[in-house]
Structure 1
Amino acid sequence: MTRVTGNHPSGAASSRTHLVRNGDISLAVYEFGPQDGIPVVLVHGWPDTHHLWDGVVPLLADTYRVISYDTRGYGQSSAPTQVSAYELNRLATDFFAVVEAVSPTEPVHVVAHDWGSVQIWEAVCEPGADQYVASFTSISGPNLDHLATWMRRGVRSGTVRGIGGTLSQCLSSAYTTFFMLPVLPYLFFRLVGTEKIWKLFLRLVEGTSAEQISLAPTLKQDMISGLRFYRANIIARMFGPRERRTTVPVQLLVNTRDIAVRPAGYDDTAKWVDQLVRHDLSRGHWLPYSDPAAIAGYADAFIQAQPK
Structure 2
Amino acid sequence: MEAQTQWVHTQDQQRLYVKTWGSDDKPALVLVHGYPDNQDVWELIIQQLKQDFYIITYDVRGAGQSSIPARIRDYRLEQLSLDLASVVNAVLKDRPFHLAAHDWGSIQSWESVTEAKFKARILSYSTISGPCLDHAAFAMRNQFKQHKGKFFKQLTKSWYIAVFQLPLLAPTVWNFFTPNKWAKVLEQLERQKDLPLNHNIALDGKHGIGLYRANFIPRLTQPRQRFAVCPIQAIVLQRDHFVSPELIDEMPKWAEQFQRVEIDANHWAVLSQPEKIADYIKTFAQQHTAAH
Q: Does the pair score TM above 0.5?
A: yes
**Residue number among 249, 252, 272 corresponding to 2:231 in the alignment:** 249
SS in 1 for 2:44: coil
In the alignment, which residue of structure 2 is the partner of 1:7?
none
Whole-angstrom distance in 2 between the partners of 1:209 and 1:200: 8
Deviation of the 1:260 alpha carbon? 0.6
Shift of 1:239: 1.1
Partners of 1:275 and 1:128 in 2: how far apart?
A: 18
Separation in structure 2 between the aligned mates of residue 214 and residue 198 of structure 1, nearest angstrom: 8
**Runs of 5+ consecutive residues of structure 2 not aligned to the other structure:** none
Contact 1:96 1:132 in 2 (8 A): no
Q: Which residue matches 2:258?
A: 276
Aligned to 1:292: 274
1: distance between equivalents of 2:39 and 2:204? 12
**Runs of 4+ more than 2 Å apart:** none
Amino acid across the alignment from 2:104: W
After TM superposition, list the pairs within 5 Å mapping 1:76-225 onto structure 2.
76-157=65-146, 162-190=147-175, 192-210=176-194, 212-215=195-198, 217-225=199-207
Partner residue of 2:58 out of 69, 72, 77: 69
Q: Secondary structure at the match of 2:145?
A: helix
Q: Distance in 1 between matches of 2:75 and 2:133?
A: 14
Number of residue-to-residue matches in the alignment: 289
For residues 268 and 15 of structure 1, the distance between their equivalents in structure 2, rounded to whole angstroms, comes to 37
Please provide the CA RMSD for this pair.
Answer: 1.1
Deviations 1:60-107 (A, max 9, x none): 011211111000000111111210000100001000111111112321
2:35 is paired with a residue of what secondary structure? Answer: coil
Instruction: State the Cα distance separating 1:268 from its structure 2 match.
Output: 1.6
SS in 2 for 1:226: helix
Matched, 1:14 2:14: no
Contact 1:22–1:97, Cα closer than 8 Å, also in 2:
yes
The normalised TM-score by structure 1 is 0.91
| TM-superposition CA deviations, 1:104-132 (whole Å, max 9, x none) | 23211011000000010011111121232
Equivalent residue letter for 1:27? L
2:162 partner amino acid? T
8 Å contact kept, 1:40–1:66: yes
Q: Which amino acid aligns with 2:112?
A: A
Correspondent of 2:249 among 233, 256, 267: 267
Q: Percent identity?
A: 35
Tell me if structure 1 keeps the 8 A contact 2:179–2:197. Answer: no
The equivalent of 1:53 in structure 2 is 42
Unaligned runs of 5+ in 1: 1-12
Matched with 2:286 is 304
Q: Show the counterpart of 1:8.
A: none
Q: Deviations over 1:263-302 (max 9, x none)?
A: 0111121110111100121110001101110111011110
Q: Distance in 2 between matches of 1:70 and 1:256?
A: 27
Shift of 1:233: 0.7
Counterpart of 2:125, as a letter, is F
User: Which one-letter code corresponds to 1:65 in the other structure?
Assistant: Y
Q: Distance in 2 between matches of 1:278 and 1:96?
A: 27
Q: Could you give the per-residue CA deviations for residues 145-192 of structure 1, whole angstroms, max 9, x where no partner exists?
A: 1011000011122xxxx21211111110011111111111122111x2
Normalised TM-score (structure 2): 0.96
Task: Name the aligned partner's letter for residue 188 of structure 1.
Answer: V
Q: In structure 1, the residue corresponding to 2:218 is in which secondary structure?
A: helix
Between the aligned partners of 2:172 and 2:109, the Cα distance in structure 1 is 30
**Residues 161, 212 of structure 2: 8 Å contact kept:** yes
Partners of 1:287 and 1:232 in 2: CA distance: 26
State the one-letter code of the partner of 1:14. Answer: E
Q: Which amino acid aligns with 1:274?
A: E
Distance (Å, rounded) in 1 between the aligned partners of 2:98 and 2:197: 23
